[in-house]
Amino acid sequence: MLYVQYLDLRFKSRLVRCIASFTYVVRSLLNLGVTVFTPCVALKTIIGLPYWASILSITAISVFFTIMVIFSNIYNRTV
């Protein structure tokens, strides 16, 4: 059982469910920021790549691989 379902059963309130979902989204976005920025600091230190360039390249690579995984899952499901 997900925690959102538990909160819904426990408090029977849509507001509590929405607040829990909102805090999960905020936590995920903050975690994503740290996950992307950590290698950017390493790239800046080692090769002097500006932060904006490393953030853009890491994001582009991540989006590309995510799209490739989605397409491969679709292909494997249809074959």
What confidence tens digit (pLDDT) does each residue in 33-45 have? 999 999 999 999 9
Would the pLDDT of 2 be above 90? no
Say if CB 20 and CB 4 are below 8 A apart: yes
Would the pLDDT of 79 be above 70? no
Confidence category of residue 9, pLDDT binned at 50, 70, 90: confident
Give residue for tokens 């936590």.
27
Q: Measured between alpha carbons, how far is 70 from 66 in angstroms, rounded to an integer?
A: 6
Number of domains in the chain: 1
Position 18 scores a pLDDT of 85
Say if CB 56 and CB 39 are below 8 A apart: no
Q: Which domain holds residue 26?
A: 3-78
